[in-house]
Amino acid sequence: MSDKYQEIELHQVRWLVISSYLVGIIFNIFALRETLLIILPPLGLMLVLFWSVQLLRNTHLITAFLIGLLYDGLYQTLLGSHSILFVLLTFFMLRMRLRFRSYRLWQQGVVIGFYMGAYQLLHHFFFSPTLTEQTALLYWLMPFFSAVIWPGLVVLMRGLSNRISTI
């Protein structure tokens, strides 16, 4: 099952990695403006998890920390709080990334749903957001939504990285 992965080095796809993080953060900025977009997962974290699985020679913990700092500035939370969550989840992904690569896409989506569920639970305890009846359901459906969009994200990013690395 892991033969679908092409060994890609970071220097081959450096600009794709950086631009994917920027696009993910931009999508989360759009989610700040609309309360119904609370269902949108932190795409920066999902991209850190994707790149930690795709690029095996890097640990991505520093990247997770820096992306977390950007999210702290974006959401105006205590500096380092998102960084702790992002580094913790990236660490757990690094512990199982070789096994994770061998899963089918829908199985990966289920695992990502559990990761995002843990993120959402820790996020709720750290920040204790004020949720109305309308937004509470959307808030707790975010792990399911991230599990649904994970296969599409993987297919898109894997296709782009394979196309760029062969050039």
Spell out the residues 6+ positions from residue 94 whose beta carbon is closer than 8 angstroms to its own. Answer: 52, 59, 60, 61
| Each residue's pLDDT tens digit, 150-160 | 999 999 999 99
| Each residue's pLDDT tens digit, 114-156 | 999 999 999 999 888 877 888 888 889 999 999 999 999 999 9
Spell out the residues 6+ positions from residue 132 whose beta carbon is closer than 8 angstroms to its own. Answer: none
**61 conformational bin, left if phi > 0, alpha if psi -120 to 50, beta if neither:** alpha
- What distance in Å separates the CA atoms of residue 136 and residue 149, rounded to the nearest whole number? 20
| Each residue's pLDDT tens digit, 64-102 | 999 999 999 998 989 999 999 999 999 999 999 999 999
